[in-house]
Amino acid sequence: MRLNATIAGVGMTPFGKHLDRGLKSIGAEAVEAALADAGIEASQLEAAWVGNAAAGLITGQECIRGQVVLRSIGIGRIPVINVENACASASTALHQASAMVTAGLYDMVLALGVEKLYHEDKRKSFSAFSGAVDVEAMQAIMEGLRKNAESGGAKQAGSGAGQKRSMFMDIYAMAARSHMQRYGTTVEQFAAISAKNSFHGSMNPRAQFRQALSVEQVLAEPMIAEPLTRPMCSPIGDGAAAVVIVSEKKAREMGISNPVRVISSVLRSGWDHGGDEPGTADVCSAEAYEEAGIGPEDLSVVECHDASAPAEVMAYEALGLCGKGEGGKLVESGATRLGGRLPVNTSGGLLRKGHPVGATGIAQIVELTEQLQGRSGDRQVEGARIGLAHNGGGNIGPDAAAMCVTILTR
């Protein structure tokens, strides 16, 4: 279904380590900023979708996460739908909110993503990621990661997954080693992703890390899981992002002069498929392009799920930005850097902006909305008209457990 929903306002907190703040404080900041940006009062909202992935594990808040956050700023009475879908929680909330507005059930709604991942006990933070796989198959998964690392001579990746780091870094590292072996992708090309995104993030006041790094500096950092050094791995974080979504009719009534519309949002779960068959990102992006009536050549700017540097390389290929196996060459060419043909992750991406998992999907939408409205300052992509967000979450078998691809236009 082609969507027809307008983004009336966006808001976002800086991403980072906020041990002294709770979900309510962080969520409220983003919501209040989005309401102010839209020029509306909270009482005008008709429904809200709230994405969160890990509060139950990190803070103990279960069941009514969205209601608790919104009630703290006086938002009640309206339907509040809690959305938990791994790292795709926020994009799923946006997808559902946009679909309901398009269907005519509501004229003005809120989509919020909020997360706290930092905890004094790091093992508790890492446990949030360990729950994003099939836990009944955990022993087999860990054994598979260990054997793959050993067969590839990856000493660091052979132990510590889920204890010293998110086990997803080992999953990404395994995929990276496979990509290198199959296509000749180099570790320098992966490092180029981190360097590019660090350059973009250095200009983003809401990014968790603001230091620009060279390829050489990325490669010199401590090894996490071969071939991933620390800057090639997204950090955990705390943060929130929110959008106010309105119908076409309401947008006209509000006199929105520079509207950004959600014209396509495709959400799918993974399935068991062969290694050479199209995966979730391939299928979602193809369907999103068809719904929007565009192709990858029409895009102005992309925010993709670079939970690791290799993940961005592979996203290029899945989104049709280049051919299979050509992602490394694409970043090396400079095409995806600001000033290039198609800038990717102008926010700094998950690698530098940070990755509070339940907030990430809407944070991408905030970045794209501001880009399409010409509000991104030093990071502005000149003449940006169409943006794409790619946000995945969890892992089962050969693919992501959840995937959402959203296309915005001005």
Residue 76, in any domain of the structure: yes
- Over residues 381-407, the mean pLDDT reads 97
Tell me the CATH number at 44: 3.40.47.10
Residue 255, in any domain of the structure: yes
| Cα 108 from Cα 307, distance rounded (Å) | 32
Strand order in 5-12's β-sheet? 80-83, 47-51, 108-116, 238-246, 5-12, 260-269, 399-409, 386-396, 301-303
| Cα 289 from Cα 278, distance rounded (Å) | 15
Residue-wise over 104-141: b if at least 16 C-beta within 10 A, else e? eebbbbbbbbbbbbbbeeeeebbbbbbebbeeeeeeeb
- Residue 257: Cβ within 10 Å count: 6
Closest CA to 166 of 403, 401, 399, 395: 395
- What per-residue confidence (pLDDT) applies to 35? 98
Closest CA to 347 of 357, 330, 360: 360
Residue 230, in any domain of the structure: no
| Cα 386 from Cα 273, distance rounded (Å) | 31
| Cα 69 from Cα 338, distance rounded (Å) | 36
Residue 146, in any domain of the structure: no
- Over residues 52-74, the mean pLDDT reads 97
- Over residues 58-82, the mean pLDDT reads 97
Q: Which domain holds residue 21?
A: 5-120+236-409
Catalytic residue, candidates 119, 200, 355, 390: 355
- The tens digit of pLDDT for each residue in 285-302 reads 999 999 999 999 999 999
For residue 95, indicate whether it is catalytic: no
Cα dist from 273 to 154, 167, 278, 284, 396, whole Å = 27, 22, 8, 15, 11
Residue 155 in this model has a pLDDT that exceeds 80:
no
- The tens digit of pLDDT for each residue in 130-152 reads 899 999 999 999 999 989 988 88
Sequential DSSP letters for 152-175: TT-SGGGS-BTTTB-HHHHHHHHH
Closest CA to 204 of 9, 39, 410, 379: 379
For residue 200, indicate whether it is catalytic: no
| Cα 226 from Cα 121, distance rounded (Å) | 25
| Cα 103 from Cα 3, distance rounded (Å) | 9
Cβ proximity of 141 and 287 under 8 Å: no
Strands in 130-273 per DSSP E:
223-225, 228-229, 238-246, 260-269
Strands in 59-162 per DSSP E:
80-83, 108-116
Catalytic residue, candidates 18, 87, 304, 322: 87
Structure tokens at 361: 């999907």
Residue 165 in this model has a pLDDT that exceeds 90:
no
pTM score, two decimals?
0.97
- Over residues 331-341, the mean pLDDT reads 98
CA 298 from centroid of its chain's CA atoms: 21
| 3 state DSSP class of 401 | strand
Residue 320 in this model has a pLDDT that exceeds 70:
yes
| Cα 147 from Cα 170, distance rounded (Å) | 12
Strands 80-83 and 47-51: parallel
| 3 state DSSP class of 262 | strand
Residue 289, in any domain of the structure: yes
Strands 5-12 and 238-246: antiparallel
CA 349 from centroid of its chain's CA atoms: 8
- What per-residue confidence (pLDDT) applies to 199? 98
Structure tokens at 349: 């991406």
Residue 182, in any domain of the structure: no
Residue 244, in any domain of the structure: yes
- Over residues 258-283, the mean pLDDT reads 95
233 bridge partner residues? 308
Diameter of the chain measured on Cα atoms: 63
Report percent pLDDT > 70 for the chain: 98
pLDDT band at 207 (very low <50, low <70, confident <90, very high): very high
Count of structural domains within the chain:
1
- What per-residue confidence (pLDDT) applies to 305? 98
- Over residues 109-119, the mean pLDDT reads 97
What average pLDDT is seen over the chain? Answer: 95
Structure tokens at 343: 């800038």
Q: Measured between alpha carbons, how far apart are the two ends of the chain, in Å?
A: 19
- What per-residue confidence (pLDDT) applies to 162? 66
Amino acid at 110: L
Residue 262, in any domain of the structure: yes
